[in-house]
Structure 1
Amino acid sequence: MPPKPLILSAFLMNTTSHIIGGAWRRDEAQQHRFNQLPHWVSLVKTLENEGFDIAFFADVVGLYGDHEGGWASHVRKGLQIPSNDPLVLISALAAVTDRIGLALTSSVVQAHPFTFARQLSTLDHLSGGRVGWNVVTTAQENAHRNYGADELARHSERYSWAEEYLEVCYKLWEGSWSDQALRVDKTHEDERGGGLHADPAGVSKIHHDGDRYRVEGPHLSSPSPQRTPYLFQAGSSDRGRDVAAAHAEATFSMAPNREIAAAHAADVKERTKKFGRRPEDLAFIQGLSFVIGSTETEARAKAEDLDTSIDDHALIAHTAGSLGVDVGYLPIDTPLEDLEHTEGAQGHLAEIKKMAPNGKVTLRDLARFRAQSTRVVGTPEQIADELEAWQAAGIDGVNVINSTLPGSYVEFIDHVLPVLRARGLARHPQDAAPGTLRGSLTGEDRLPASHPAATHRDAFTQYSAAATETPKELLHSH
């Protein structure tokens, strides 16, 4: 059986220092131009022209936890500050692209679901259905305080919050409008006069009344090409895996090796069954970075040179900061024995501990986990071999992590992609046609009936505009 093309995603962020802390200082690095639209237009058009499926933009809405006694080091090192809103950037990129998927991270903390659902519907319309949403709960305490909370919500509570947030969005996206409601019929004539813009029988309020949100509706946007955007989720804790199994169409992984990735994929796929979904409804996209050489010796020399640019403390602050612990002044070989009690990214900590056979991980390991555990070093052929092995382990795609922009992607495109295409592991650019993101990845523009969002289709007709309209004769009788 021939191999299936891998989903190719570019892992981006509208900031200078995203994953590989310190690499922005390299002479060839251009990510310091993050405020300049031409920088992003050029990069994303290159990705589209070369057959990448997704330009995925990460985001945060708060600082990572303190490092070295405060947050000055984050500012000094550019640890995702400053960073800009990816929703605004993607809106601009939608105007200059026509095939590549445009996905973003947005936390349930940062926007009311009524507002967010309308924003994504608008963007899905304007992009021709190419929008994806990575659903996150946000483990940064500062982010929660930025939106009025006193402290970080408990881990389990954040996922309950996310599921209600999704429910509100699903009701708006899937249940508020019928497919035929928007008529825009200029010639329609009836007793009420001429023209029919939308059928009142097909537009409904949703009357959501939950633990956190009360939303009357209706959705103010008409159904977009995908209705619900393509859904990503990245939780790796037990509760996070359940949420992914219930809701996600693709899940991002940063597993440090293929064995862990395979076990994670198998576990989450098995969990889909208890939510009435099929294992094949969920794709797994592994984050990997690449150091490419014409020989293995050259590739290893390039990796060693890259390591001289890496800022260990930027990497430690990034990972430990998401766990809510300041380890900045500890010796770099201190073991991380006491971090499991935090309310931060618990699944991520568990993955880090799996790096070591005895589960003993030091701060130095923490730094190198970010930079090296998901790095593939070798010739284009060796990298293709490795990606074949990841696919055999159950991974459906790769989220390509950059050390420099645009260089990391240019090198991958120039040297690795031709080998992947020759092996059937990557699509040829000419095979991509304009269409929805979901359509390009699954063959269907809309969510399947097995997805929980589908339960809200045609569920609110009793609240339609037509159903609640008072007949003229009754109105005048009063």
Structure 2
Amino acid sequence: MSENKREILFNAFDMNCVVHQSPGLWRHPDDKASTYNTLGYWTHLAKVLEKGKFHGLFLADVLGTYDVYKGTNVTPLSSGAQAPVNDPMMLVSAMAAVTENLGFGVTAGTAYEHPYAFARRLATLDHLTNGRVGWNVVTGYLPSAARNMGQEDQMEHDERYNHADEYLEVVYKLLEGSWEDDAVQNDKETGIYTDPGKVHPINHEGKYFKVPGIAITEPSTQRTPVIYQAGASKRGTEFAASNAEAIFVNCPTRDLLKEAVAKIRDAAEAAGRGRYDIKVFAMQTIITGETSELAQAKFEDYASYVDIEGSLALLSGWTGIDMSVYGPDDVIGDDVKSNAIQSSVETFKKASGDTGKPWTIRQLAEWIGVGGFGPVSVGSGAEVAEKLIDWVEHTDVDGFNLAYAVTPGTFEDVVEYVVPELQARGVYKTDYAEGSLRNKLFGEGDRVKDTHRAAKYKVANRLAPQA
């Protein structure tokens, strides 16, 4: 790759379910999403993405249903809108076994699982993948999940982040601060496997958690997997500024994306980190083909399968607002308050068509129908490549989180038509960098940077004499 050109990074965006972001498209004859519950679907997808030199596969997840819409499960079940949905972490080992470089960003919430057990699951995956795992930290947004976990509702939006701050502190202490790097001796002559003097209790006692003892996993390649985050609210950005190494944003226009990226870079600096210590990925769906005309025809074909009700169910869950109370020609008002994904509410308020007027509920549902709530790029491989380059240059974004219309066909098309065009322009890798997911992302080694929040919990820092 040219030394003076910035590399564009791709993540594939998928979920262990039938309908992730494109309600209705499971009915398309080319879509294989209904085989989501087979290993073959996932191992094939992983090999496609590694062929295309994707940085990683980002797996979304929810623990509840999208029953905000009309207050029932009827629409999410009938449309398949993120229901049924299986655990994403179970998929990683199989995909890692058929690839060598592809990374895996796995979504897991902080609301319902104790950090002690979860830290072990993270470390286990990092061991088994040789350091190719990232954790997308979410605080939860579906009331149905809270109810089924024994709560009346979720915690208030900002309080969820306060809880998550302590959750990560426990995980960091366990993965960074319990075992010294050389604690494992594996010495058959002395009969000592682990030196007990090099394993330390974390002695954590906080508002939400009490964890006095040691981690029960030895250090993995990265120790702490790469931290991903998607919150773009004021509190979410504060959280990300200290914790995130990669952030996903959803902006319908170049100018809004430029504003969002600058806000993240400013927040990283304010938190004492480097301006580019966080990689920013923007949502994008690419519909491409051999020619512009074929790509447009493909898009129109996909659009004919859109399930409006399924789109409204997703929209209601993301925003926390029951869209059934609106008419199809209404718009989301400025007075709307949300305890769900606040950044989604703001995104949908700002979405507009060519007229510059806010989109109606019907227009939003149609937009979501193909690829979710990110922009859709339709064109030949060369046309899409030029558009992506333009977006990177204009917005300072690092890469794109690519949703799909049909799977795995949308990703196969990107690999066949777009990736070669980007490579020819010197802005996309022709081979992977060595090492862990973190080293592939930053080129500065496998472990968290010293400016990252987790660094202060490292064993060496915890055991250092206090001045």
Query: Given the two structures, how large is their TM-score scaled by the length of structure 1?
Result: 0.91
What is the letter of the counterpart of residue 368 of structure 1?
E
Structure-1 residue corresponding to 2:341:
345
What is the letter of the counterpart of residue 317 of structure 1?
A
Q: CA distance change for structure 1 residues 83 and 379 in 2, over 3 Å: closer, same or farther?
A: same
Structure-2 residue corresponding to 1:454:
455
Match of residue 277, structure 2, among 281, 303, 310:
281
What is the letter of the counterpart of residue 381 of structure 1?
A
Structure-2 residue corresponding to 1:365:
363
Find out whether 1:227 has 2:230 as its counterpart.
no
Contact 1:202/1:461 (8 A) holds in 2: no
Number of residues of Structure 1 aligned to a counterpart in Structure 2? 454
What is the letter of the counterpart of residue 196 of structure 1?
I
Q: How much does 1:273 deviate?
A: 1.7
Q: CA distance change for structure 1 residues 308 and 329 in 2, over 3 Å: closer, same or farther?
A: farther
Structure-2 residue corresponding to 1:139:
141
What SS is found at the alignment partner of 1:259? helix
What is the letter of the counterpart of residue 368 of structure 2?
R
CA distance in 2, matches of 1:255, 1:217: 43
CA distance in 2, matches of 1:204, 1:339: 51
What is the letter of the counterpart of residue 436 of structure 2?
T
CA distance in 1, matches of 2:275, 2:417: 33
Q: Deviations over 1:433-471 (max 9, x none)?
A: 663100111111000111110001125549xxxxxxxxx
Q: CA distance change for structure 1 residues 133 and 394 in 2, over 3 Å: closer, same or farther?
A: same
Contact 1:21/1:79 (8 A) holds in 2: yes
CA distance in 1, matches of 2:408, 2:338: 36
Where does the alignment leave 5 or more consecutive residues of structure 1 unmatched? 188-193, 463-478
- Identical amino acids, percent of aligned pairs: 36
Match of residue 42, structure 1, among 38, 41, 44:
44
Contact 1:105/1:134 (8 A) holds in 2: yes
CA distance in 2, matches of 1:338, 1:344: 16
Contact 1:2/1:424 (8 A) holds in 2: no
Structure-2 residue corresponding to 1:259:
255
Q: How much does 1:139 deviate?
A: 0.8
Structure-2 residue corresponding to 1:470:
none
CA distance in 2, matches of 1:346, 1:67: 17
Q: How much does 1:169 deviate?
A: 0.4
Q: Deviations over 1:348-371 (max 9, x none)?
A: 111111123877442123213424
Structure-2 residue corresponding to 1:439:
439
CA distance in 2, matches of 1:353, 1:337: 7
Structure-2 residue corresponding to 1:80:
82
CA distance in 2, matches of 1:28, 1:15: 16
Structure-2 residue corresponding to 1:475:
none
What SS is found at the alignment partner of 1:349? helix
Q: How much does 1:49 deviate?
A: 2.6
Q: How much does 1:231 deviate?
A: 0.8
Contact 1:65/1:323 (8 A) holds in 2: no
Find out whether 1:396 has 2:394 as its counterpart.
no
What are the equivalent positions in structure 2 for 1:115-126 lying under 5 Å apart? 115-126=117-128
Q: CA distance change for structure 1 residues 298 and 161 in 2, over 3 Å: closer, same or farther?
A: same
Match of residue 317, structure 2, among 321, 331, 334:
321
What SS is found at the alignment partner of 2:69? coil
Q: How much does 1:158 deviate?
A: 0.6
Q: CA distance change for structure 1 residues 336 and 433 in 2, over 3 Å: closer, same or farther?
A: closer
Q: How much does 1:99 deviate?
A: 1.2
Find out whether 1:419 has 2:421 as its counterpart.
yes
Structure-1 residue corresponding to 2:376:
375
What are the equivalent positions in structure 2 for 1:7-406 lying under 5 Å apart? 7-187=9-189, 194-328=190-324, 330-337=326-333, 340-356=336-352, 360-371=358-369, 373-392=374-393, 393-406=395-408
CA distance in 2, matches of 1:25, 1:132: 32
Q: How much does 1:91 deviate?
A: 2.5
What SS is found at the alignment partner of 1:328? helix
CA distance in 2, matches of 1:310, 1:418: 30
CA distance in 2, matches of 1:304, 1:157: 43
Query: Given the two structures, how large is their TM-score scaled by the length of structure 2?
Result: 0.93
Contact 2:119/2:171 (8 A) holds in 1: yes
Q: Which has the larger radius of gyration?
A: 1
CA distance in 2, matches of 1:266, 1:410: 32
What is the letter of the counterpart of residue 442 of structure 2?
T
Q: How much does 1:69 deviate?
A: 4.3
What SS is found at the alignment partner of 1:184? strand
